[in-house]
Amino acid sequence: MASQTGQHIGGDVASEQAREREAATLEVLQAISRSREDEGPVFDAILENACRLCDAPLAYLSMTTEDRTHVVSPARRGAFAKFGTTLDRLRVPLAESRLALARAIRECRVIREDDIADSEIYTSGDPNRVSMVEDEGARSMMVVPLISNGQGVGSITLYRRKIDPFQDDDETLVESFAAQAVIAIENVRQFCELQTRLAREAATRKILEVISLNPDDEQPIFDMILESATQLCKAPHGVLLLRNAEDTHLVIAAANTENSVIVKTVRENPHSLADDKSLTVQAVKSMQVRQYRDIEELRDYQDLSDQLKATLQLERMRTLLYVPLIKGDRAIGVLALYRLEVSEFTDDDIELLKTFAAQAVIAIENVRQFKALESLNAELGDRVEAQVGEIERMGRLKRFLPAAVADTVISQGSDKMLSSHRALLGVLFCDIRGFTAFCETAEPEETIEVLQTYHQEMGKLINAHGAGVDHRMGDGIMVLFNDPLPCEDPSGEAVQLAIAMRARMAELSKKWKRLGYRLGFGVGVSLGYATVGMVGFEGRFDYTASGTAINLAARLCDEAEDGEILLSPRAAVAVEDTFQLESRGEISLKGIREPMEVFKLTGAAGA
């Protein structure tokens, strides 16, 4: 009977322990579900339940640093006498330390010591182990690693203030807690990565918006870049420096705070580009990203500039990063961020700052071009102001006219050609096949990049072939030959340009296809008379053409399949001795009264 009673009591105890452990597991899981942004509450719940269920009055949780060089302890439980202060600043070298918390992480195994006062680490006088024994009275210890993807990422350490070895049940329980800690760490990591990515994408978009709103002033862009860079990269101080107009010094173009000692110092004494001791100058001249993990390590470096030595003492900066602003084959400045503690900038930080540096260069170039255009317009205005009023009016029109038209007007000294007149034109229409569908699924930045590349490359070809006028409408382009610039063979010139465009677009489409963009290209060419001249109103003029020849080229472009160049009958007759053509048969074209025979370009004559 007594034996049965003992078994019953033992069974009750075991059941109670099982229920307590299940409740503890549930509590930790609930903490995980509530803590998307911070694993701290989960660590606290784990340590509290581990201490209670394992009868361990002291515990702490350790994690490896991001670069896996050290182990830090962000959470603890229990009434530490002195060692708690040590834990707050403890950085244990992961690869070299003999402490159990580091060995458990390195070796991915549980370490149990029945009496840490008998360990070699204690007898050799390790200060951390001595403090645990003599200050905290710790004797028995168990360290359970946190393992993620086969690699130790942290540990849970439990102590008892008496020689009372931990058992297998204790180990199993804490291993389950360790697994839950890893889940919490991964959840927070993924959530924070998502938030960081969204924040960085938002910052990039915002800077692009500021660039578009400030074509004549880069200062708001610089300020936004520094604000975003310092916030997203967790750097309290940042400056953007540029070469001065004389190219003799680096001067501060923007700073996120004027209270920084280094900002005040550099404003008073800009970096001389002849000072090879300056780390800032070195970064600019090297055109490479440079990071200094701990400037304190360079204090005794004799070649360190006096300026940096002085600011080091006052500012107490530790980690310093330089990202140069590259334009062409030289660096025009540098983006510099620094932290007041030793904390390296990550690869993601550096890539983000490279993006910001590129945006700063875009802003600088935009403002330069805008001011150059303003200067050019002012110069033209001054020049024509000295001439008769008629020439002055033509000079003002220059900013609204195609370059070829404006140059012809000014060279002739008369705007008679701008009045409405009839002209025999070679007309080319082209556009991108599949562009509308692409815009519906692509990101705005992708759409803009494709359009910019397309117009840039087509513009080069149009200029090279001496076209008189071209108009851009989204992905559509209209090009006119023989007015205002005369040419002997407007149809032939238009076909030559079409061939060059098609070849270049084939190269671009191949590149875009690798990015998942399925885009093609079609061209229509016509020859005929059209009405040409200025249309619009004061301040918004355009030189354009209208008529059947224009409509016909546009309809042929619409009809052309990817890679096709379609010609009207008149254009085909004009070039049939130079190019190989084949008939596509009669086709009904929108806006054209009767069906029309259409010709497809197949090659050059004799090819």
Task: Enumerate residue ranges in the chain where pLDDT < 70.
Answer: 1-14, 17, 24-25, 31-35, 192, 258-261, 299-307, 309-315, 381-418, 537-541, 605-607
Listed by start position, the domains of the chain span: 16-190, 214-369, 420-604
Residue-level pLDDT at 190: 79
Fold of 16-190: Beta-Lactamase (3.30.450)
Cβ atoms of 101 and 132 closer than 8 Å? no
Measured CA to CA, the distance from residue 222 to residue 225 in angstroms comes to 5
Residue-level pLDDT at 381: 66
Residues 411-468 pLDDT 10s: 665 566 667 889 999 999 999 999 999 999 999 999 999 999 999 999 999 988 888 7
The pTM assigned to this predicted structure is: 0.43
Q: What is the CA radius of gyration of the chain?
A: 37
Cβ atoms of 352 and 200 closer than 8 Å? yes
Q: Write out the H or E segment, with its range, that includes residue 585.
A: strand 579-587
Bridging pattern class, strands 565-567 and 520-537: parallel
Q: Which of 465, 453, 467, 449 is nearest to 500 (CA)?
A: 465
The SS3 of residue 386 is: coil
Beta partners for 272?
249
Round to the nearest angstrom and report the end-to-end CA distance of the chain: 111
Q: Which of 494, 493, 485 is nearest to 532 (CA)?
A: 485
Q: Which of 290, 386, 30 is nearest to 183 (CA)?
A: 30
- Identical fold for domains 214-369 and 420-604, yes or no, is no
How many residues in total does the chain contain? Answer: 607
CATH number of 420-604: 3.30.70.1230
Measured CA to CA, the distance from residue 374 to residue 512 in angstroms comes to 36
Residue-level pLDDT at 506: 95
Measured CA to CA, the distance from residue 427 to residue 470 in angstroms comes to 10
Residues 410-420 pLDDT 10s: 666 556 666 78
Residue-level pLDDT at 400: 47
Q: Which residues contact 385 (CB under 8 A, 6 or more apart)?
A: 392
Of 3.90.1150.10, 3.30.450.40, 3.10.310.30, 3.30.2290.10, the CATH number of 214-369 is: 3.30.450.40
Residue-level pLDDT at 266: 77
The label of the residue with tokens 């719940």 reads 45
